[in-house]
Chain A
Amino acid sequence: MNRPKVVTWKRPTKLSEYPTGPGFEAGHLVSENAGWRTFRPVVDTDKCTGCLRCYLVCPDGTIYKEAGKVAVSYDFCKGCGVCAHECKVGAITMVKEDGE
């Protein structure tokens, strides 16, 4: 699970610094994108069997493994809940984001 890192993007100051046509190197994340999440999926790593079904169904590719455990990147998770719905062992709970 080779996840691209958010990198700082330097705005072009010259027209020639833009690529020719709207295309650029793949895997290039320049900003976080999770602002509209109402519920966040929380993984109970004790219940989790590591089957990675959640990884397969996540529409935004936000699920990954860290130190052998399943984790969610809250920088990009939109809180859709598909992972929690699809988890066969009930290891993912949708928890209301507090006070935002």
Chain B
Amino acid sequence: MSEKMFVSGNDAVALGVRLCRPHVIAAYPITPQTIAVERLSNFVEDGSLESEFMHVESEHSAMSASMGASAIGARTFTATSSQGLLYMAEGLFYAAGGRLPIVMMNANRSLALPWSIYGDLSDSLAVLNSGWIQVYVEDAQEALDMVIQGFKIAEHAEVLCPLMINLDGFVLTHTYELIELPEQDAVDAFLPPFETANKMDLNRPVNMGMSTTPADNLEYKAQQHRAMMRSKSIAQTVNDDFAAAFGRDYGGMVEGYRLGDAEVALVTVGSITGTTRLVVDALREAGLAVGLLKLRYMRPFPEEAVASVAQNVKALGVIDKDISFGHEGTIFTHVNSAVTLNGKAPALVNFIGGMGGRDISKEDIEQMFHCLLDAAKGNAQERVQFVGLGVEIDE
């Protein structure tokens, strides 16, 4: 029988990692990820996880050590957040180009300056181009389940791309929830040991991490891109197989909520989805045709799913807990690009808020829906809006 536990998001990740039996964990602690790494260290110490825990001196070293481990065919896990993710940025691209399927937890946290330990999506969205599959979860159970699914997707012979599981800092990492811990036997059956031909092997010596001349470079990049694109269908299969084995279905690349006859919809990423569901339910009670589209992956980007939702609504809003200064929210940019697949677009509004740990309240989301409903009537809206800005813009 699977066990019910009351744990934090960080605990849930650590428990999920233990079930996956990684050979190597190389990680450096950083708020708000620290507890996940501490728990894993405890598991190795108390013997409940047979794994090599490498105490490294920085995130750059954590990623470098993870690459070395993965390059001998070891199942490898690491975890970081914010400044730490940026510090390992060089290694992120390296690991992806080397086709090393490392799985990492990232606790989404603001980037300095101003210095802040609180949450937003600036960190992971800054490294979208690194070649890592990016998953965003809504709660602790999904975090745990995506660690298991994550290894299965990343290590798939048709994928071999590293994978990052993103949890909102504090909102998910430090809050406690009831979770169901899958049985070890069931996880072992779902996730067989990692096998790859792309490794150092005394019986088949290879040179790894080579340079190329311009004559061959683009081919490797094309190959990497195609592997990422293939991971879309593999992620769907893994989601469905996981649902069949463990009874929890996350939909796949996206999850729609009450979109059926929705006139307007909000696109959400991460924990804000939970709050938005409540607002959708309340507004539906009041007779308003609103829905939500939860993006579970930012890489590969589920553009077909976004386009298909955009086709059926009059207005589409995007909540961005990030901003690409001088342009707009990064998720909004992606949604806009996907919408062009249709040839015609609904009204589009970008809501920027929740940065540096500021709360996005139910009232804020209700206002976003009212803005979208007004846009659906054909009334022009400000395209990029700050939500919950505490002062008037007068400069």
Q: Taking beta carbons and an 8 Å cutoff, which residues of A are in contact with B?
A: 12, 15, 18-28
Contacts and interface: CB of A to CB of B under 8 A. Distances in A.
Given A12-B219, A15-B219, A22 B97 contact: yes
Contact of B205 (A15, A18, A21, A27): A27
B223 interface: yes
B204 A21 contact: no
A22 B198 CA distance: 10
B205 A26 contact: yes
Given A15-B222, A15-B223, A22 B206 contact: no
Contacts, number: 50
Interface string B268-291: 000000000000000000000000
A15 B229 CA distance: 15
Contact of B206 (A12, A18, A24): A24
Contacts of A19: 198
What class of interface size applies to chain B in its complex with A?
20 to 34
B392 to A, nearest CB: 53
Interface stretch (B138-146, B208-216, B315-323, B340-348): B208-216
A21 B160 CA distance: 9
Given A12-B219, A26-B206, A26-B207, A21 B97 contact: yes
Given A20-B99, A22-B211, A26-B205, 14 more contacts: A15-B219, A15-B223, A18-B219, A18-B223, A22-B210, A22-B220, A23-B98, A23-B198, A23-B208, A23-B209, A24-B210, A25-B205, A26-B207, A27-B205
Given A26-B206, A27-B205, A21 B219 contact: no
Contacts of B226: 15
For the complex of A and B, 6 pairs with smallest distance between CB atoms = A21-B99, A23-B208, A26-B205, A22-B210, A21-B98, A20-B198
B interface majority secondary structure: loop
B206 A25 contact: yes
Nearest to A19: B198
B197 interface: yes
Contact of A25 (B97, B99, B160, B204): B204
21 contacts: A15-B222, A15-B226, A18-B220, A18-B223, A20-B99, A20-B160, A21-B99, A21-B160, A21-B198, A21-B208, A22-B212, A23-B98, A23-B198, A23-B208, A23-B209, A24-B206, A24-B210, A25-B204, A26-B206, A26-B207, A27-B205
Contacts of A27: 205
